[in-house]
């Protein structure tokens, strides 16, 4: 059952990326930024570094919430699964929180899905022509998370990619989500 849910969530994340991350409306959405040059890549290039970063980070944040939901509901699932989606002190703290939760009562199985996202700040290494350069990239996002029982909640993760421009390097390194905060409090 968990594999089926994970497969569906993966397909949903891919569809979300294709539709520019807006699955609430039939119209394609866009990734937005509040700082830095917005979606202007080097001449002749495909997607700008900001677009590439946004898409990679969205895929990782969707994967993070999928892993988090599975680990919180399945006491047998290995905490090491978090290593692929989180990093640093945030990773260590999240593992401790899940362990504590498991010692009490694991939460019932649930789906956590990213319904909307807005990049609120980014620091993407680029050269003078706008081409991506090696370095550490950081994105801050507001995400609208669908939780069980039709509850929507605002998430405020920070993702870091120390291997930029490698799209596989994204990890959640902080999350300033205040439980119960409605999505309407975000930058949507």
Distance CA 147, CA 41 (A): 36
Whether 160 has a pLDDT exceeding 50, the answer reads yes
User: Tell me, what's the pLDDT at 7?
Assistant: 42
pTM given for the model: 0.72
90-144 confidence digits (pLDDT tens): 999 999 999 988 887 656 656 778 889 899 999 999 999 989 999 999 999 999 9
User: Tell me, what's the pLDDT at 59?
Assistant: 93
Ramachandran region of residue 73, left (φ > 0), alpha (ψ -120 to 50) or beta? alpha
Whether 13 has a pLDDT exceeding 50, the answer reads no
What are all long-range contacts of 99-105, with beta carbons under 8 Å and residues at least 24 apart? 101/72, 102/75
Task: Place 41 in a pLDDT band, splitting at 50, 70 and 90.
Answer: very low
Kindly state the average pLDDT of the residues 167-172: 95
User: Tell me, what's the pLDDT at 3?
Assistant: 45
Task: Place 150 in a pLDDT band, splitting at 50, 70 and 90.
Answer: low
Q: Is 144 helix (H, G, I), strand (E, B) or coil?
A: strand
Establish how many alpha carbons lie within 13 A of residue 170's alpha carbon, considering only the half-sphere containing its beta carbon. Answer: 22
User: Tell me, what's the pLDDT at 138?
Assistant: 97
What percentage of residues in the chain have a pLDDT greater than 70? Answer: 71
Q: Among 58-62, 173-177, 180-184, which is the least confidently predicted range?
A: 180-184
| Total residues found in the chain within this entry | 188
User: Tell me, what's the pLDDT at 109?
Assistant: 58
pLDDT, mean over the chain: 78
């Amino acid at each position: 059952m968990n594999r089926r849910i994970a497969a569906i969530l993966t397909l949903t994340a891919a569809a979300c990326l294709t539709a520019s991350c807006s699955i609430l409306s039939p119209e394609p959405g866009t990734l937005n930024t509040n700082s830095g040059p917005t979606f202007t890549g080097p001449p002749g290039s495909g997607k700008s570094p900001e677009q590439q970063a946004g898409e990679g980070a969205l895929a990782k944040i969707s994967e993070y919430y999928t892993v988090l939901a599975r680990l919180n509901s399945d006491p047998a699932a290995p905490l090491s699964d978090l290593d692929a989606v989180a990093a640093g002190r945030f990773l260590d703290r999240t593992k401790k929180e899940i362990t504590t939760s498991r010692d009490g009562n694991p939460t019932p199985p649930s789906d956590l899905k990213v319904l909307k996202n807005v990049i609120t700040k980014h620091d993407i290494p680029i050269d003078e022509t706008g081409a991506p350069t090696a370095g550490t990239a950081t994105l801050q996002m507001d995400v609208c998370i669908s939780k069980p029982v039709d509850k929507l909640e605002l998430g405020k993760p920070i993702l870091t990619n120390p291997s930029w421009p490698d799209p596989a390097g994204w990890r959640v390194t902080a999350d300033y989500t205040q439980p119960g905060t409605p999505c309407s409090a975000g930058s949507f």
